[in-house]
Structure 1
Amino acid sequence: MFGNAFAQDAPKHDWSLADMASQRGRIFLVTGGTSGIGYESAKALAAAGAQVVIAARSSERGQEAIASIRQETPNARVQFEALDLANLASIRALGERLNATLPRLDGLINNAGIMEPPERDTSADGFEMQFAVNYLGHFALTAELLPLLQKATSPRVVTLSSIAAARGALHFSDLQFEQDYDAGSAYAQSKLACLMFALELQRRSDAAGWGIQSIASHPGLSRTNLQANHGFVRRSLRVLFQPAAQGALPTLYAATAPEARGGAYYGPTGMMEARGPLGLAEVPQSAMDAEAAARLWKVSEELSGKRFPTRLAD
């Protein structure tokens, strides 16, 4: 049922923040960096000396996150930029601002997400909200920031998926779940799309010579605000989840470890990959469908109105 599309050496299971090299001189952008996995990632990167851009919707929460990070790392180089991933105009505006002000971007962490809103909602552009925020917004943002990434020496794009991707399917006949909305299925589709995007981005970078390492990660079951929409049973079971700081390790490894490889997928290695030490995550067979990934890429360019450079193979 499962396999790994790319042969990789597994990271050491006890990898921790103590193993993370200095990130001084590197610039990262973390979407959704005001809470959960994104906040823990931004905090760790700033503590390691990186310049960190937190991109999120709420300026108030952004300033709170920055103040909290600076309490632990007084000299942290961290800034907030407004970004609404459910609004393509907001994504374009951020791309314009950063392309005009940053010298380069060493790492893009596509982290922000929403999970299983009980009622179907749509983005400013008319897309199902989970598809828009979790996947399509990050697809468009990566395209917007590609020029900055290409200015870096060894740029990386880390895209967060989920163990839910294993039960996901791409509903090409109804990607926006207009006909029969199911919150769980829509979430799983969005996270499968994220994983397929990460793998396809690596394939296209190799083909076109973009020089980008595209890596996927997932946090297992971690205590974050994503559980806010869940019922009493799931909320009560949060005590069984691992802390967000532990859940952020696969992402931080993917973003910083010299031995991390493009096309890899990192996550916890405990039972069902819900928690536990860092390792290679299992790639669902559906995520390895290169034909479906190419189709999703084409549809995503059409929906977002944002196109990546043509592949050399074309």
Structure 2
Amino acid sequence: MLGECSKAAPPLPRKTSRTRANMGASSSHFSAASVPDGSLAGKRIVITGGSSGIGLEAAKVFAAKGAKVLLTSRSQPRLDAAAEEVRKATGAADDRVETRPLDLSSFRSVNEFADWYVETHGEKPLHVLLNNAGVMAFPDRRESADGFEMQMATNHLGHFLLTARMLPSLLRTAGSRVVNVSSMAHQWPADADGTGISDADAKDPFRVAAASGGFAAGQYEPWKQYARTKMANLHFTLELNRRLEAAGRAGAAGVTAISAHPGYSATGLQATSGSMGGSVGAAIGNALFAQSAAMGALPLVMASVSPDAAAGQYIGPSGTNNMWGYPSANTPDPRAFRADAAEKLWDASTALTGADWSALDAPPRS
């Protein structure tokens, strides 16, 4: 989830054969082999951004272990190709790999997807919602259909609304999980709380941060805004867990929220950043520095299905600077634990998206 070859980002150490695959490895490291064959049979997993990169690689692991996967992205042709790739790689039957278009930057698209899901899946359990889709550091400021800066709309607001819409299905499934994919970049903002809320317009703080990136006209800073969206992912995870616990809907009988990040992995995300030199620059940077998308997907897999993953953890590579290697629990920036910032983010995001969290108030089924 990171394209750190720009001058705005910290420099990367040159990758060696050791960092390429083995940093953080031990005899007990988590890998795809850690998930027993057949252990996910009957499980249903929804993956946003599932047509490429780490989302696609995670889908392959889930399907190989028996899960039913629902892949989403903006492009149906890309989804069709991804579904076929999953089936060929895993031998999964057609009915275990489902697809549906979804544009996380559009609240209308999110609501249409959720309406379709309820209509077609009804009372069926949902075991994992993997909020993986994202965009990174557009060189120019872009606006979503709802009037928000595109990175904040896609990386946070859309997933916030989607999670609220999918929560009833998750709450019907004991031990279900919400996994929010963040990034090492969450450490970069200079804001006191990391999201831009505290230094924006006091009348409507997050609208300013979400609509403009918190910057005056002509001063859009793509990397700073990307970093803010990744801190928002962590604050969302923190506050979702708090509210689940307060409602008595957390843990093995309810829903657990966990964050994950892929370190520096070779995906298509870097190509969206102008500072990466486009697709050519991204390809060169990935070849020199990045671990494979399959390795980058392992933290997502661990957060989604490992019994060792716990509420509120931030799971990522265990090697140098948490950039490469097998996954383990990482330590995020201290601002990720700011309960006041997380609550502000929740309240503002609810107001902006119209998300309905009343499912948290309903008594659990006996």
Query: What is the TM-score when the length of structure 2 is the normalising length?
Result: 0.79
Q: Which of 91, 98, 103 lines up with 2:117 in the alignment?
A: 98
Number of residues paired by the alignment?
A: 302
Inter-partner Cα distance in structure 2 for 1:29 and 1:42: 9
1:171 aligned partner: 196
- Unpaired runs of at least 5, structure 2: 1-25, 201-207, 362-366
Q: Which of 18, 29, 39 lines up with 1:14 in the alignment?
A: 29
1:281 aligned partner: 330
Percent identical pairs in the alignment equals 39
Q: Is structure 2 residue 75 aligned with structure 1 residue 58?
A: yes
Q: Per-residue displacement from partner, 1:72-92 (whole Å, max 9, x unpaired)?
A: 223341110111101101101
Q: Is structure 2 residue 266 aligned with structure 1 residue 223?
A: yes
Tell me the CA shift for residue 309 of structure 1. 2.5
Q: Which amino acid aligns with 2:53?
A: G
- Aligned Cα RMSD in Å? 1.6
Inter-partner Cα distance in structure 2 for 1:162 and 1:12: 26
1:212 aligned partner: 255
Q: Which of 240, 244, 252 lines up with 1:201 in the alignment?
A: 240
Inter-partner Cα distance in structure 2 for 1:12 and 1:106: 29
Q: Runs ≥4 in structure 1, deviation > 3 angstroms?
A: 232-235
Whether contact under 8 Å (1:273, 1:281) holds in the other structure is yes
Q: Which amino acid aligns with 1:56?
A: S
Q: Which amino acid aligns with 2:113?
A: L
Counting only pairs closer than 5 Å after superposition, residues 131-210 of structure 1 correspond to structure 2 as 131-168=152-189, 169-172=194-197, 173=200, 174-175=208-209, 176=211, 177=213, 179=216, 180-210=219-249
Inter-partner Cα distance in structure 2 for 1:224 and 1:234: 9
1:72 aligned partner: 89
SS in 1 for 2:71: strand
Q: Is structure 2 residue 78 aligned with structure 1 residue 46?
A: no
2:350 aligned partner: 301
Q: Which amino acid aligns with 1:85?
A: L
1:254 aligned partner: 303
1:238 aligned partner: 286
Whether contact under 8 Å (2:64, 2:91) holds in the other structure is no
Whether contact under 8 Å (2:165, 2:356) holds in the other structure is no
Whether contact under 8 Å (1:28, 1:109) holds in the other structure is yes
1:5 aligned partner: none
Inter-partner Cα distance in structure 1 for 2:314 and 2:353: 25
Tell me the CA shift for residue 286 of structure 1. 1.0
1:272 aligned partner: 321
Inter-partner Cα distance in structure 1 for 2:359 and 2:74: 31
